[in-house]
Amino acid sequence: METISVCCDQIASSKSTQLHVLAVDDSNIDRKVIERLLKVSSFKVTVVDSGSRALEYLGLEEAKDSTQFDDLKVNLIMTDYSMPGMTGFELLKKIKNSSTLKEIPVVIMSSENIVTRIDRCLEEGAEEYLLKPVKLSDVRRLKDSILKTENRSRKRKRNDDRLPVLPSSLSCHKNLTMSPPASPQPPTPKLC
């Protein structure tokens, strides 16, 4: 049984500064817990019950009954590791291999503390690996991290927008002769 739940206020206020999280977990209880923690931390939340539904939501997989929310930007994806069908690790790999989605941070959640699994997820591009049960302090730390990343990204974009664009007809690099900088002359002493 596949479900999708979208917070009503996210459609009404999609232009607000509230961060939007796509939470993916096959367990109904875990979905409700993470949804509640995220909402308490002032996130917009969309929850889905499988990796394939997450891909449909993100527009990576087309389905007959696919729900499209093209105008809603996702700032973070939080996914359970162990899910039937597509694991959280497989979802992470698909997102990081997508040219349009690879910049979205992905957090893996699991009740299993297996070092090789954690390392593999982090090497594949996971922002973080959280042990379940996820705590409010985990969510707040993630929010601070995302806000810092978003601010750096906005500043970089503003700086990129300010750079002048040189016409391609300019060939500044041709016929340049480089001479060494002139060596400074020692000051001439004044005689009194």
Domains of the chain: 4-155 (3.40.50.2300)
Q: Please give the Cα distance from 109 to 128 (Å, whole number).
A: 9
Residue 135 is predicted with a pLDDT of 96
Peptide bond into 187 cis (omega under 30): no
pLDDT reading at 183 higher than 70: no
Phi, psi dihedrals of residue 109, rounded to the nearest 5°: -115, 140
Are 24 and 80 in contact by the 8 Å Cβ rule? The answer is yes
**What is the C-alpha to C-alpha distance for residues 156 and 68, in angstroms, rounded to an integer?**
29
Q: Say how many Å lie between the first and final Cα of the chain, rounded.
A: 98
Q: What is the pLDDT of residue 181?
A: 56
* pLDDT at position 119 over 90: yes
Mean predicted confidence (pLDDT) in 10-27: 72
pLDDT digits (tens, 9 = 90+) for 43-52: 999 999 999 9
pLDDT score for 18 = 86
Of residues 143 and 174, more confidence is placed in 143
Q: What confidence tens digit (pLDDT) does each residue in 82-102 have?
A: 999 999 999 999 999 999 999
Which tokens sit at 77?
A: 């994806």
Q: How many CA atoms lie within 13 A of 183 on its CB side?
A: 1
Of 145, 152, 154, the residue nearest 126 (C-alpha): 145
- CA 174 remoteness from chain centre: 41
Shortest CA distance to 142 belongs to which of 56, 49, 45? 45
Q: What's the average model confidence in pLDDT over 139-144?
A: 92
**Mean residue pLDDT across the chain:** 80
Average pLDDT of the segment spanning 31-40: 97
Does the model's pTM come out above 0.75?
no
Residue 147 reports pLDDT greater than 90: no
At 163, the pLDDT band (50, 70, 90 cuts) reads low
